[in-house]
Amino acid sequence: MPRPRKPTNILKLTGADKRHPERMRERENEPENKNPLGDAPADLNKTEAKYWEQIKRESIDGVLGQADRIAVSIAAK
């Protein structure tokens, strides 16, 4: 089983897009995360909301989005 591809924004952060531009050509039409993670849900208590913000702050921009809200909520709890 092949290794999963790294997200494009992580490759850009590490400079791989500059070192291997040919690899980036196939990702030109790749969908972008346009829905950010957002604020903590109202059902989290004060401590869990702090963990939510910590996870959000420590993640790489653009990696976590609206689709990850349930997973981040579970991790914060």
Report pLDDT digits (tens) over 14-61: 998 899 888 888 888 877 778 999 999 999 999 999 999 999 999 987
Going from N- to C-terminal start, the domains of the chain cover 1-32, 35-77
In 10 A of CB 40, how many CB atoms?
Answer: 21
- Cα–Cα distances in angstroms (integers) from residue 48 to residues 21, 26, 31, 42, 66, in the given order: 41, 40, 31, 10, 18
Report pLDDT digits (tens) over 27-36: 888 777 789 9
Greatest distance between any 2 Cα atoms in the chain: 47
